[in-house]
Amino acid sequence: MSMTIAYVLCVTKSGMEQKVLSVLRGERSIEEAYIVYGEYDIIVKVSVSSPDELRSFMTETLRGIPEIERTTTLISL
């Protein structure tokens, strides 16, 4: 079965990077998560079983973290 892999670039509220990183690293769908510097604050590698599961993860999990202000999702083929 083919997995859906996505990289999610997150912008957090100022000073909330470490808190968000700790929350994200506790999620089962997240393989890797790192604080980065530049336009984005955190990059996350998400691995799920389908595009529908990715949509659910994005809407129910990531958007439920109030310290995340904005995301950009890059889906790997």
Q: What would the pLDDT profile of 30-53 be if each residue is shown by its tens digit?
A: 999 999 999 999 999 999 999 999
CA–CA separation, 43 vs 14, rounded Å?
Answer: 16
> What's the token pair of residue 38?
């530049």
* Confidence band for 64, pLDDT divided at 50, 70 and 90: very high
Q: How far is CA 70 from each of CA 8, 53, 65, rounded to the nearest angstrom? A: 10, 20, 11
For residues 12-40, average pLDDT: 97
Position 2 scores a pLDDT of: 87
Domain annotation for the chain: domains and CATH numbers: 4-76 (3.30.70.920)
